[in-house]
Chain A
Amino acid sequence: MNVALNDTVRSRKRRIRVGSLTLHALLIAMAVTTLTPFLWLICSTFKTKADFFTYTFLPWDHLNALTLDNYRRLFAQEPFAVWMVNSVFLASAYTVVVVTLSSLGGFALAKYRFAGRRVLMLVMLVTMLVPGQVLLLPNYDIMRKWGWMNSYAAILVPGAVSVFGMFLFRQAMMLLPDELLQAGRMDGCSEARLWWEVALPIVRPMIGAFTLLSFMAAWNSFLWPQVILQTPDKLTLPIGLSNMINLPEYQTNLGILMAGTLLSILPVAVLFFVLQRDFVAGLASGAVKG
């Protein structure tokens, strides 16, 4: 009987091990499928034009032919460095402004009662239901009447409004205990210092998550800058790169295009690694509650 019991335990263990192996094999296969395009992209940026057409990944029999030529030509032929500086500037400035305004406003909505608060929140909710394309044309009309076309103000100023961010910070700051704020007031903290020194440190994960989402939105934003920005020296990476696809030159020199793509997606990846922990925690808590 003991033997029989041992046998079932052993066979059960084996079944679990086989199941676990299949599970991991499946996961690895899917992860490889998901990541292969990145690998292909990275390999292709270092290949010569001839090798690009003959080898799928790397030219294993003559690895010494790998070259930085694609990167060199990218910077020589296109104002890629300018686009990169523009994108970094616009996305960073946008993120700082939108995180500041949303956390300030969200703090007021969460922790103060003031005249017009409920009406404001109601109007905000209504605007959330309306897709941005409806605002595109009136705002475009305002910009061309104000003479803001081709200016960064046209991107940063209207973009600084984030109803989503306001609600996100309101939600997170509702959890702040009122006693804590009251104690700060007793110690002589001004209301602005309460925001900066009490509220913000406590909602840190939310700041991380919202910073990443805002930066990504600005970094990838296409339609509005495409409408506003007109001269080549003002363009951002998404617009510059999508213009490059159309040039006949790059339909044969795909390596240059790929080098540009790789350099364009790196900054977001770096920011993600910095903020990863906050991002997952902030996002998950918000979603599961919502």
Chain B
Amino acid sequence: MTNEGGRGLSSKLWAMQAKYAPYLFVAPFLLLFCAFMVYPLLRSISMSFYSYAGPHTSRFVGLGHYRYFLGDFLLWIAVANTIVYAIVYMGLQIPLSLGLALLLNNPRVRFRNLFRFAFFAPYLVGNVFVSVIFVLLLSQRHGLIPKALGFFNPAWLEVSWLGDPINARIAIVVASLWLSVGWGMVFFLAALQGVDRELYDAAAVDGAGPWSRFRHVTLPGIKPVMTFLVVSGTIGALQLFELPYVIFLQHGSAAGPKWAGLTIVMYLYQQGFDLGDIGAACAVGWFLVLLILGVALVQIRISRAGREEES
């Protein structure tokens, strides 16, 4: 009798654990997701209409922040810097990554894994440490890069990389490329190995040259990966912060010489933490959101249009 009752209870418990399991599985995520993503996301909209001074003092300013920073020339310098950086960086990273992947994908390459690791290694270093390494690499007269350039022309030994606005911008692009070309290459290589070999043979039988094989077989095959790399890379580039921040802090101002290192996220950081108005910083954040969404939409639209054209 008791035995039977026990079995009834345990089977009821068993049914309950089966029924509620999925809720229990998502519960920890859901709780934190709501507390630290959904709620702050909504809150940052309303915060952008207030001006803050310290944790407990705030004042409604409506669209005041937006009106203020849209008229601030520093914001537009930040926007110009960020967009030029994103274009130059992506314009170099994608061809370099793809070029390396094409070289490595050649069936005659030996020690492929070793090469792949060599090119990928800088990615493991991460933003902040790459910045530190580049501060050292570029240090005037004693850094490796001035020394290597001085080998060709002694005058280049004395070039100031981080004190000159143009050189500083070049330095940031070079540092980002060192960090991320291998990352893109890993994705391209995986995609290239997924392209059907028979398509190449068929194209060769049709008398297609190397360029036309690349254009009509390779490129369509790696298009999804290319779109992924371009869209995610651009989104990342528009959020540039750590590299210039760490590189230029040493020179007194995180914005670099003549604001060469001022980016949108750094402008946001300065509004929120240097000037102390987190409401203004939220407004800058939403400006960045709109910019990123706009750029991503245009890129995806272009990629779709290209696909329809082909089919």
Contact = CB atoms under 8 A, between A and B. Distances in A.
A135 B44 contact: yes
Interface in A73-127: 101-102, 104-105, 107-109, 112, 114, 117, 120, 123-124, 127
Interface residues of A, number: 89
Contact of A222 (B128, B228, B281): B128
Interface string B179-197: 0001000110011001000
A222 B36 contact: no
A91 B235 CA distance: 25
Contact of B126 (A44, A137, A220): A220
Interface string A202-222: 000000000000001001101
Binding site secondary structure of chain B: helix
Contacts of B127: 220, 222
A27 B104 contact: yes
Contact of B191 (A23, A52, A242, A288): A288
A174 B150 CA distance: 57
B28 A284 contact: no
A241 interface: yes
Contact of B33 (A16, A112, A161, A219): A161
B6 to A, nearest CB: 16
Interface string A51-80: 011001000000000000000000000000
Contacts of B288: 131, 133-134
Interface in B115-151: 115, 117-119, 121-122, 124-129, 131-133, 135-137, 139, 142, 144, 147
A108 B289 contact: no
A207 B55 CA distance: 40
A137 B144 contact: no
Between B25, B109, B137, B246, the greatest number of chain A beta carbons within 10 A of the residue's beta carbon is seen for B25
Given A23-B108, A35-B121, A287-B187, A257 B132 contact: yes
Interface size, B (range): 35 or more
Contacts of A268: 124-126
B62 interface: no
A261 B132 contact: yes
A20 B144 CA distance: 31
B278 interface: yes
A12 to B, nearest CB: 14
B129 A261 contact: yes
Contact of B29 (A41, A101, A241): A101
Nearest to A284: B190
Contact of B135 (A56, A107, A245, A276): A245
B17 A158 contact: no
Nearest to B181: A34
B129 A134 contact: no
Contacts of B125: 265, 268
Contacts of A13: none
A24 B106 CA distance: 10
Contacts of B182: 34
B250 A105 contact: no
Given A23-B106, A257-B136, A131 B25 contact: no
A23 B37 contact: no
Contact of B26 (A108, A140, A185, A272): A108
A133 B286 CA distance: 9
A257 B108 CA distance: 42
Given A138-B41, A144-B55, A158-B36, 19 more contacts: A34-B119, A34-B178, A38-B121, A40-B137, A101-B28, A104-B25, A114-B26, A120-B30, A131-B285, A141-B43, A142-B36, A158-B35, A185-B18, A190-B17, A192-B17, A216-B126, A223-B241, A238-B128, A257-B136
Interface of B: 14, 17-18, 21-23, 25-26, 28-30, 32-33, 35-41, 43-44, 47, 55, 100, 103-104, 106, 108-110, 115, 117-119, 121-122, 124-129, 131-133, 135-137, 139, 142, 144, 147, 178, 182, 186-187, 190-191, 194, 224-225, 228, 235, 238-239, 241-242, 246, 249-250, 265, 268-269, 272-273, 278, 281-282, 285-286, 288-289, 292-293, 296
